[in-house]
Structure 1
Amino acid sequence: MTTNTQKIRVLVAKPGLDGHDRGAKVVARALRDAGLEVIYTGIRQTPDMIAESALQEDVDVIGLSILSGAHMAL
């Protein structure tokens, strides 16, 4: 029997100019507490920055936190 002990890797990012990151941090903490490995990139990320981080970190999932619609201008 083979067991896979590798954690799921999640990238949490805030695209656009919205600087409100409390919700993203709450989600990141909840995912971490559930046993996932979380990479939080911070606020004001461009799509290219998020994609590059996802590739560099070899993540399984990308989570975007968007509040104000600021991502629409990207």
Structure 2
Amino acid sequence: MRIDAHQHYWRLSRGDYGWLTPALGPIHRDFGPPDLAPLLARHGIARTILVQAAPTEAETAFLLGIAEHDQSVAGVVGW
């Protein structure tokens, strides 16, 4: 089984990504499982590890919520 060991998902409306500004152009938008799914399939990656993109407990809870509902998530690195 191939696993992507470092993946970020975020939802801008959560408001705790101070580093994620419009100046970052293409990545200044929400990213989640539907964005990654075609890439995982194309490259034969079965699972992924989510890594927090904001230094907050709320971010960890957000990622754990995704992990509960998405079979592609093998683990979460958070606080």
TM-score norm. by structure 1 comes to: 0.38
Structure showing greater radius of gyration is 1
- The structure where helix makes up a greater share of residues is 2
The answer to which structure, 1 or 2, has the higher relative contact order (CA under 8 A, 6+ apart) is 1
TM-score norm. by structure 2 comes to: 0.36
